[in-house]
Amino acid sequence: MKLSEIVLSNEWDENIKQEFFVRLRRSPLDYHKMKNCVDKSYNIASTGDSYKVSEAIKLLDYAMENYDDNYGMAYSLQINGHILERYSHDFLAAYECCTKWSQIDTNSCVFG
């Protein structure tokens, strides 16, 4: 299965998770890795399943800890805030994400 197919699906279990990370490591740039993590997080959270929402937040945390990309970080915080607000109903954490997101300088981003 291609990485793009994994990212676009809303399926998430241990096998898919393992395959996702194997394919993710092959991505050439941190920007691509961050974007794939964020997109996958949104897709699995959109199911509304509490396990998948929790996994989506963990995946976003992983991306923010491991990839150094300002644009990706801003995108990740934006989606994290959306997931926390819409699916977890954790409005304070969502607000904190939006506050951090607004402080990131994306003007100097280089897209590869």
pLDDT digits (tens, 9 = 90+) for 19-64: 999 999 998 888 889 889 999 999 999 999 999 999 999 998 898 8
pLDDT at 107: 56
Which of 15, 1, 19, 12 is CA-nearest to residue 41?
Answer: 12
Question: Measured between alpha carbons, how far is 40 from 46 in angstroms, rounded to an integer?
Answer: 10
- The reply to whether the predicted model has a pTM over 0.75 is yes
Mean pLDDT to the nearest integer, 78-85: 80
In angstroms, the CA 71 to CA 111 distance is 9
Burial class (CB in 10 A: 0-12, 13-18, 19+), 96: middle
> Given pLDDT bands bounded at 50, 70 and 90, which one contains residue 109?
very low
The CA distance from 103 to 86, in Å, is: 22
